[in-house]
Structure 1
């Protein structure tokens, strides 16, 4: 059997300044850990063939499939606020693009596939732990209904990579609607290459925002489109307690997908100032800072697009500021609407925003588990006499006072208790990729070559909103000695 990828590559047809042509570096003994069979079918690929040794060689970068045009993409970026004029894919190779079953163009990229001209003295490889983390969290994010890059496969290479110690090497096959970032535009802006910026913007419009092709001012509309998608994306993150951890401009996707899952984490106890990333020493990318940082990143994109707006710099800046000014309202509308759904409100009334904020404030003061508080609140909605969420609070009286107001508010709506519970359970997951579970999976794989915990966790997280009695323990927050206080990039 031959592995066939129906590649239709467009990015590699752009000028050579957009990328470096480089093939993956062959590895010693690739072995497939996990293939995402439903995603393979969605991409028009044969999962049975991908699971053969030949398929494993392609997914590890040992063999380049027919029709691939492997490249490492060029980009720049602000990393923790400091601008680096050249970054690029230092350990990833874009094999090519396919059109999926829904007619959407998707990148297929190997992450950890060896050095490229952008590696900056790095080895271009990935360790097994970060590959498993990205597979778990990206697929969990997809199951939660949040736009994201996805994971097609994880492969061990039969080689070791050196970090603090020698670790098993691995390659992740990542799928995205594209890997174009704010930093991609910055790469050309810092070089004052306006023609390249225009070429890139036209490519992005055709690929991600085709509805703008006939717009009177397409580049203004493009900025507005990216602003709207990023505002909605970050609202979705906050509504499930997600912390990206490294929201650099080179990790900010133009398509509006979550990308680059290095030190990401989901909160256990609600804390707006929560930081997990070991490299975020100042809390720049803390949970509650994410909307502000998203706008900061979008402002950097706007700066890149100014030459396409007008030759009059002052006019261009004013127009960009007007578009950026829509972010706060778009984010707030999405976030507040999401919070109302999480507490089971079907309509909007004066005082709703204060009601949801008061719950969050009480949760923060009482170290209430973010996920379980909302899920148990849904249980209580189906049984108004119950106090399931109360147990999440160190001081249950704090919940009692809020619950009284909540019951008064929900009584103003005609929906039945069962309808309210069903609606709340549809937006409040019971299962999230808890940090201590991910770490246990990684340790079992790295130390014992045991992938059964990984398989089981992926299975549970594929249905985050469903009660799964056989796996109920996966909903539990960590015990004190299980808490994960820091997460790491893995580079």
Structure 2
């Protein structure tokens, strides 16, 4: 099916009583950027969860969204006034292989809202039916992946990491077929935009320089307005994306997050974490950790994430070459200089974060080596990533707390040897121990989306219709830097290796 097919599906077009402050700039771009179509209605929409705080942030009325009419909008059965539903076109490298047309196969952008503070956000339905980009898929989403993305994306937001957000999850009253029939759901996702590296690749692969320029100008206006005044605005845009992604991946590494499917179509130019399919958090620290069932070769392992992001950004630079130089030679030089900013930007953020995690903010390379020695000892002794750093906060204040840290190591002597050097450095650095511990607790979370807890919450919701565990876990994840009863305990011993799935 051509991306220009714009057959309108028959969703109800009343609902004017519920107001969204829509101003749909992407829908005003040329037709080849998207397909216009309405979501496919579902059988029996039922609200599972509404993010009332986010709704207010967007200037929306949570009470109105929770009404039957509001739920119909969130399910795709009703189109709100001012909405211009579209499915966006994009391409992408998937596990290193280029696919020239991907696009929103099961997602429809309802429009863009301008929040009371003037910030612009995309409102997208995920799992809202087939589009011209569905590639044979059913266009639907199962309840498990929808609730999983809701949990993990909101956890990331609470951790202070740039991310798309979840506004709502709605059950459809219909089954979707994966390996077995599963209850269906629709996620309402909020993002600064859904422009991807793969969006640029889509037009570059077609040699459509005019569309590339239109897209880049749109991206500058939306994400890098200062670039418009730069001597080379398109190079400045590229540099902005490089800087944002360097910071984002560093923040992932500092909390043990593994995205799982870092394809270029899952790399947003806004610098937000997007597409939470097979993601997970590490328990025991191991740079080779992989959870995704489809990542058989470990391409997107935890320790590979910085390298892969730099590779993805190189693909963006390739796509933008016609824009950033008057000649091929000049464009390549400008692109390589922009890409050269990734490594120092990543290292600066990551190394500063490591120093803060062990209570030694500053710029001493000796502190970096000290943090590296800790990570090496953790990897060799199966120490839990989150618990090690969180318990170090207490140990920085009271040496007696060393016992709870060393108990995480298969060979506690490995921690003891490191702690002697660490404690000597703390004395040398000086400062108030209580203040140091408080600063460490502000960067070392006590609570993350532990894999077994996420799975238990999803099982209760799917198998028993019980959202209580989901609500309780979501509440806990909203306060990640608070000590919570039972949070500072090692996860239960695993049986078979934990495996995640993309949900499509």
Normalised-by-shorter TM-score class: over 0.9
Separation of aligned partners in 1, 2:249 and 2:215: 24
Query: Does residue 232 in structure 1 map to residue 232 in structure 2?
Result: no
Deviation of residue 348 (structure 1)?
Answer: 2.2
Moved more, 223-232 or 378-387: 378-387
Separation of aligned partners in 1, 2:173 and 2:18: 21
Query: Does residue 219 in structure 1 map to residue 239 in structure 2?
Result: no
Deviation of residue 350 (structure 1)?
Answer: 3.4
Matches within 5 A, 1:125-136: 125-136=140-151
Query: Does residue 42 in structure 1 map to residue 57 in structure 2?
Result: yes
Separation of aligned partners in 1, 2:216 and 2:121: 18
Map Cα deviations across residues 296-328 of structure 1 (whole Å, 9 max, x no partner).
Answer: 000000001110122311221122111111111
Separation of aligned partners in 2, 1:350 and 1:184: 40
Equivalent position of 1:487 in the other structure: 500
Separation of aligned partners in 2, 1:476 and 1:223: 43
The two structures have a TM-score, normalised by structure 1, of 0.98
Query: Does residue 406 in structure 1 map to residue 406 in structure 2?
Result: no
Deviation of residue 412 (structure 1)?
Answer: 1.6
Unaligned runs of 5+ in 2: 1-14
C-alpha root-mean-square deviation of aligned residues, in Å?
1.1
The match for 1:26 among 41, 51, 57 is 41
The match for 1:116 among 131, 138, 152 is 131
Query: Does residue 175 in structure 1 map to residue 190 in structure 2?
Result: yes
Matches within 5 A, 1:302-313: 302-313=317-328
Equivalent position of 1:51 in the other structure: 66
Deviation of residue 483 (structure 1)?
Answer: 6.6
Equivalent position of 1:458 in the other structure: 474
Equivalent position of 2:359 in the other structure: 344
Separation of aligned partners in 1, 2:296 and 2:272: 25
Q: Do the aligned residues in 1 keep the contact of 2:390 with 2:441 (CA within 8 Å)?
A: yes
SS of alignment partner, residue 140 of structure 1: helix
Deviation of residue 481 (structure 1)?
Answer: 4.2
Unaligned runs of 5+ in 1: none
Q: Do the aligned residues in 1 keep the contact of 2:293 with 2:500 (CA within 8 Å)?
A: yes
Separation of aligned partners in 1, 2:324 and 2:223: 20
Separation of aligned partners in 1, 2:315 and 2:420: 45
Separation of aligned partners in 2, 1:399 and 1:393: 7
Deviation of residue 414 (structure 1)?
Answer: 2.9
The match for 2:215 among 200, 204, 208 is 200
SS of alignment partner, residue 288 of structure 1: helix
Matches within 5 A, 1:279-298: 279-298=294-313
The match for 1:416 among 415, 432, 446 is 432
The two structures have a TM-score, normalised by structure 2, of 0.95
SS of alignment partner, residue 269 of structure 1: coil
Separation of aligned partners in 2, 1:160 and 1:237: 34
Matches within 5 A, 1:5-20: 5-20=20-35
SS of alignment partner, residue 385 of structure 1: helix
Equivalent position of 2:12 in the other structure: none
Equivalent position of 2:397 in the other structure: 382
SS of alignment partner, residue 195 of structure 2: coil
Deviation of residue 478 (structure 1)?
Answer: 2.6
The match for 2:441 among 403, 425, 435 is 425
Q: Do the aligned residues in 2 keep the contact of 1:436 with 1:483 (CA within 8 Å)?
A: no
Moved more, 478-487 or 163-172: 478-487
Matches within 5 A, 1:70-149: 70-149=85-164
Moved more, 312-321 or 382-391: 382-391
Q: Do the aligned residues in 2 keep the contact of 1:436 with 1:484 (CA within 8 Å)?
A: no
SS of alignment partner, residue 146 of structure 1: coil
Deviation of residue 78 (structure 1)?
Answer: 0.2
Equivalent position of 2:181 in the other structure: 166
SS of alignment partner, residue 347 of structure 1: coil
Equivalent position of 2:330 in the other structure: 315
SS of alignment partner, residue 220 of structure 1: helix
SS of alignment partner, residue 152 of structure 1: strand
Map Cα deviations across residues 333-353 of structure 1 (whole Å, 9 max, x no partner).
Answer: 110000000000132223111
Equivalent position of 2:8 in the other structure: none
Q: Tell me the matched-pair count.
A: 488
SS of alignment partner, residue 341 of structure 1: helix
The match for 2:491 among 478, 481, 486 is 478
Equivalent position of 1:245 in the other structure: 260
Query: Does residue 440 in structure 1 map to residue 456 in structure 2?
Result: yes
Map Cα deviations across residues 81-115 of structure 1 (whole Å, 9 max, x no partner).
Answer: 00000000000000000112332100000000000
The match for 1:191 among 189, 206, 218 is 206
Deviation of residue 484 (structure 1)?
Answer: 5.4
Q: Do the aligned residues in 1 keep the contact of 2:59 with 2:115 (CA within 8 Å)?
A: yes
Separation of aligned partners in 1, 2:183 and 2:497: 22
Separation of aligned partners in 2, 1:138 and 1:482: 27
SS of alignment partner, residue 168 of structure 1: strand
Moved more, 210-219 or 272-281: 210-219
CA distance 1:153–1:361, shift in 2 (3 Å):
same
Q: Do the aligned residues in 2 keep the contact of 1:295 with 1:324 (CA within 8 Å)?
A: yes
Q: Do the aligned residues in 2 keep the contact of 1:384 with 1:417 (CA within 8 Å)?
A: no
Map Cα deviations across residues 419-462 of structure 1 (whole Å, 9 max, x no partner).
Answer: 01000000000100011111111111111001000000000000
